[in-house]
Structure 1
Amino acid sequence: MPLHGVVPGGTGTTAGADDGPQGGPSADTAAPRTTQAPSTAETPPGAEAGVAPGRAPRGPATPARRPEVPTAGEGHLSVFLRQLPFTGVTLAILAGVLVYAPTMLDDSTFLAAFAVAGSAVALSVLVPWRRLPVWLSAAVPLLDMLAIGLAVESGFRVSMLLVLPVLWMATVFGAAGVVVAVAVGTLAAWGTRVLGTAHFDGDDIPRLFILPLVLLAVALYVHLAERRSAARRDLLARQSSLVEEILADARYNERLLQSILNTVDVGVVALDADGRVTLVNRAYTTATQGRLRVGDDARERARARGESPDRRRGPVTTYAADGQSPLRPDESPLARAAGGRDIERELIWWDFGPGLARRAYRVSANQLQRADGRPAGAVVVYQDLTSEMAALAEREDFVSAVSHEVRTPLTSVVGYLELAAEDPSLPPVVREHLAVAERNAERIQGIVEALLDAATVRERVEICHDPLDLRDVVAEAVEDHRPRATAGGVVVELHDGMPLPVDGDRLRLAQVVANVLSNAVKYSRAGGRVDVVAEPVDDEVVVRVADTGIGIAPEDQARLFTRFYRAAAVRRGDVPGTGLGLHLAREIVEAHGGTIALRSALGEGTEVTIVLPLAGRPSARRAGGAG
Structure 2
Amino acid sequence: MRRFTPVSVRRERPRRGLFADQTRARTAALNQLLLGSVVLFVTLLVIGQRSGTGLETYFLGVVMIFVLTGVTMVVPWNRIAPGWLAIIPVLDIVAILLLRLAIPDGGFGLLWVFPTMWLAAGFGVPGLCGGVLGACAAFLYSALAAHPEQHLNVYTLLLLPMVLLAVSATSYLTARRTAAQRTLLSKQAQMLSQLLERTRSQEQEVTEILDAVDFGVIRIGRDGGIAVTNEAHGHLQRAIAATDADTEVYRDDGVTPLPIEEQPIERALRGEAFDDQLVWFGPPEGERRALSVTARRLLDSHGEDAGAVVISRDVTAEATALRARDDLVASVTHELRTPLTSILGYLDLAIDDPDIPPQARGNLEIAERNAERLLGIVGDMLAASQASRGSAEFSVVPDDIDVAEVIRASVESLLPRAAERAVLIDTSGLEVAYARADSMRLRQVIDNLISNAIKYNRDGGTVSLGSTADDGSVWILVRDTGLGITKEEQAGLFQRFYRGDTVRATGMKGTGLGLAISRDIVRAHGGDITVRSTPGVGSTFIVRLPAGSPHPSTKGERP
Range into which the TM-score falls when normalised by the shorter chain: 0.7 to 0.9
Q: How far does residue 515 in structure 1 lie from its aligned partner after superposition?
A: 1.0
**Structure 2 SS opposite 1:542:** strand
Instruction: Output aligned runs, 1:396-415, within 5 Å.
Output: 396-415=326-345
> Contact (CA 8 Å) 2:484, 2:539: kept in 1 or not?
yes
Instruction: Output aligned runs, 1:444-483, within 5 Å.
Output: 444-460=374-390, 461-483=394-416
Instruction: Output aligned runs, 1:66-465, within 5 Å.
Output: 68-70=16-18, 79-105=28-54, 107=56, 109-110=57-58, 112-156=60-104, 157=106, 158-191=108-141, 199=148, 201-202=150-151, 205=154, 208-289=157-238, 315-343=246-274, 345-352=275-282, 357-418=287-348, 432-460=362-390, 461-465=394-398
Amino acid aligned to 1:322: D
Distance 1:597 1:87, change over 3 A: closer
Q: Which moved more, 1:242-251 or 1:575-584?
A: 242-251
Distance 1:142 1:454, change over 3 A: same
Q: Deviations over 1:423-470 (max 9, x none)?
A: 666666555555444443333332222211211221232122244333
% identical equivalent positions: 35
Residues of 1 paired with 2:27 and 2:139: CA distance? Answer: 27
Aligned position for 1:24: none
Residues of 1 paired with 2:268 and 2:480: CA distance? Answer: 42
Residues of 1 paired with 2:48 and 2:193: CA distance? Answer: 60
Residues of 1 paired with 2:422 and 2:490: CA distance? Answer: 26
Residues of 1 paired with 2:362 and 2:60: CA distance? Answer: 144
Residues of 2 paired with 1:282 and 1:595: CA distance? Answer: 40
Q: How far does residue 500 in structure 1 lie from its aligned partner after superposition?
A: 3.5
Residues of 2 paired with 1:144 and 1:290: CA distance? Answer: 82
Distance 1:251 1:319, change over 3 A: same
**Structure 2 SS opposite 1:152:** helix
Instruction: Output aligned runs, 1:1-20, within 5 Å.
Output: none
Q: How far does residue 511 in structure 1 lie from its aligned partner after superposition?
A: 0.9
> Contact (CA 8 Å) 2:294, 2:310: kept in 1 or not?
yes
Amino acid aligned to 1:146: V
Q: Does the alignment pair 1:614 with 2:547?
A: yes
Amino acid aligned to 1:234: T
Residues of 2 paired with 1:335 and 1:578: CA distance? Answer: 39
Amino acid aligned to 1:173: F
> Contact (CA 8 Å) 2:432, 2:467: kept in 1 or not?
no
Q: Deviations over 1:477-520 (max 9, x none)?
A: 11111112112212223236654433332221111111111111
Distance 1:206 1:103, change over 3 A: farther
Residues of 1 paired with 2:523 and 2:388: CA distance? Answer: 13
**Structure 2 SS opposite 1:578:** coil
Q: How far does residue 585 in structure 1 lie from its aligned partner after superposition?
A: 0.7
Residues of 2 paired with 1:76 and 1:612: CA distance? Answer: 89
Distance 1:504 1:94, change over 3 A: closer
> Contact (CA 8 Å) 1:44, 1:249: kept in 2 or not?
no
Q: TM-score of the superposition, structure 2-length normalised?
A: 0.85
> Contact (CA 8 Å) 2:9, 2:193: kept in 1 or not?
no
Q: How far does residue 355 in structure 1 lie from its aligned partner after superposition?
A: 7.4
Out of 499, 502, 512, the residue aligned to residue 569 of structure 1 is: 502
Residues of 2 paired with 1:410 and 1:362: CA distance? Answer: 39
Residues of 2 paired with 1:456 and 1:499: CA distance? Answer: 33
Q: Deviations over 1:348-377 (max 9, x none)?
A: 314246875333333322222223233222
> Contact (CA 8 Å) 2:245, 2:281: kept in 1 or not?
no
Amino acid aligned to 2:120: A
Name the structure with the higher helix share. 2
Amino acid aligned to 2:92: D
Amino acid aligned to 2:93: M
**Structure 2 SS opposite 1:563:** coil
Amino acid aligned to 1:252: S
Q: How far does residue 182 in structure 1 lie from its aligned partner after superposition?
A: 0.9
Aligned position for 1:550: 483
Distance 1:214 1:535, change over 3 A: closer
Q: Deviations over 1:307-343 (max 9, x none)?
A: 9xxxxx8634443333344343333332332223222
Q: Which moved more, 1:477-486 or 1:572-581?
A: 572-581
Q: Which moved more, 1:121-130 or 1:427-436?
A: 427-436
When the two chains are superposed, the root-mean-square deviation of aligned CA atoms in Å is 3.5
Residues of 1 paired with 2:239 and 2:126: CA distance? Answer: 69
Q: Which moved more, 1:349-358 or 1:516-525?
A: 349-358
Residues of 2 paired with 1:475 and 1:245: CA distance? Answer: 75
Aligned position for 1:13: none
Q: How far does residue 226 in structure 1 lie from its aligned partner after superposition?
A: 1.6
Unaligned ranges ≥5, structure 2 = 551-559
Q: How far does residue 135 in structure 1 lie from its aligned partner after superposition?
A: 1.5
Q: How far does residue 73 in structure 1 lie from its aligned partner after superposition?
A: 5.7
**Structure 1 SS opposite 2:223:** coil
> Contact (CA 8 Å) 1:117, 1:147: kept in 2 or not?
yes
Distance 1:104 1:142, change over 3 A: farther
Q: How far does residue 42 in structure 1 lie from its aligned partner after superposition?
A: 7.0
